[in-house]
Amino acid sequence: MRLTNTAERYGAVAQTLHWVTVALFAAIFALAWIQDGLPLSPEKIRLINLHKSVGVTILVLAVLRLVWRWYSAPPVLPAGMAGWELQLAHASHVALYVVLLAQPTIGILHSAAANFPVVVFGLFTLPALIDPSEEVKVILGQAHYWLANAILALVAVHVLAALRHHFVVKDAVLKRMLPAVGKGKGG
Ligand code: HEM
């Protein structure tokens, strides 16, 4: 399987970045849900630190994806799709990239406003980009919460669209984001 994208399908790099991001998204939502239910304890702090580390990883992967997308153009959508469908697909991908960048950034700024460090997997600490502030902390905390809900809705629409392409329209949109099985080199 080739590394770069072709006009017909995503290559190994874009696919790996996509599916690793999906796994990290599942992990970060699970962490948020578990940590929210815990009383303040070393275990809760440990999970919050892990949540932050996964968020920073998602941010780095989003930047890498955009760089890769610029270097290797994504496949074109099937010719049979209506104009509104093409626009919706494009808008939803833009929205996904916006939230992939915005949500971790808000989380990082929220930590700085709350005067807590962001220690990435115990390896290094991100510089605090803003000064501690109770007011800013509350605003960013609310934004992080509401954006999380918006992301769930956006991802639900995205997944339903992928499943509709596969099972209803029966085109190759989902398959081209999956490793090509049983096809020759570059398939
Ligand atoms: C089970 C869950 C998911 C499925 C089945 C899925 C499926 C797909 C498929 C089939 C495409 C390619 C669409 C095309 O060919 O134009 C795609 C692209 C994309 N997906 Fe997902 N996806 C899932 C979850 C996610 C999640 C959680 C995110 C991020 C929050 C995400 C972000 C994106 C982005 C940004 C693209 C555009 C890639 C590009 O062209 O640069 N996906 N997804």
What pLDDT tens digit does each residue of the chain (187 aa) get? 899 999 999 999 999 999 999 999 999 999 999 999 999 999 999 999 999 999 999 999 999 999 999 999 999 999 888 999 999 999 999 999 999 999 999 999 999 999 999 999 999 999 999 999 999 999 999 999 999 999 999 999 999 999 999 999 999 999 999 997 765 444 4
Give pLDDT, residue 17: 98
β-bridge mates for residue 124, sequence order:
120
Ligand 1 midpoint to CA 132 (Å): 36
Q: Which residue has the tokens 């697909």?
A: 89
Atom of ligand 1 nearest to the CA of 65: 41
Break the chain into its structural domains and give their ranges.
12-177
Pocket test for ligand 1, best of 5, 17, 18 (most atoms within 8 A of CB): 18
Which residues lie with the beta carbon below 6 Å from any ligand 1 atom? Answer: 18, 21-22, 25, 69, 74-75, 77, 89, 93, 96-97, 100, 155, 158-159, 162, 173-174, 176-177
Looking at 3.40.50.10070, 3.30.950.10, 1.20.950.20, 3.40.800.10, the CATH number of the domain 12-177 comes to 1.20.950.20
Phi, psi dihedral angles at 36 (to 5 degrees): -65, -30
Question: What residues contact 175, with CB distance under 8 A and at least 6 apart?
Answer: 9, 166
Which residue's alpha carbon is at the smallest distance from atom 12 of ligand 1?
177
Residue ID of nearest Cα to ligand 1 atom 19: 93
Question: 118 with 56: CB under 8 angstroms?
Answer: yes
Strands (E), 95-167: 119-120, 124-125
Q: Which amino acid is at 22?
A: V
Residue among 33, 30, 10, 34 at smallest CA distance from 22: 30
Rounded CA Rg of the chain: 19
Contact 8, 187 (CB under 8 A): no
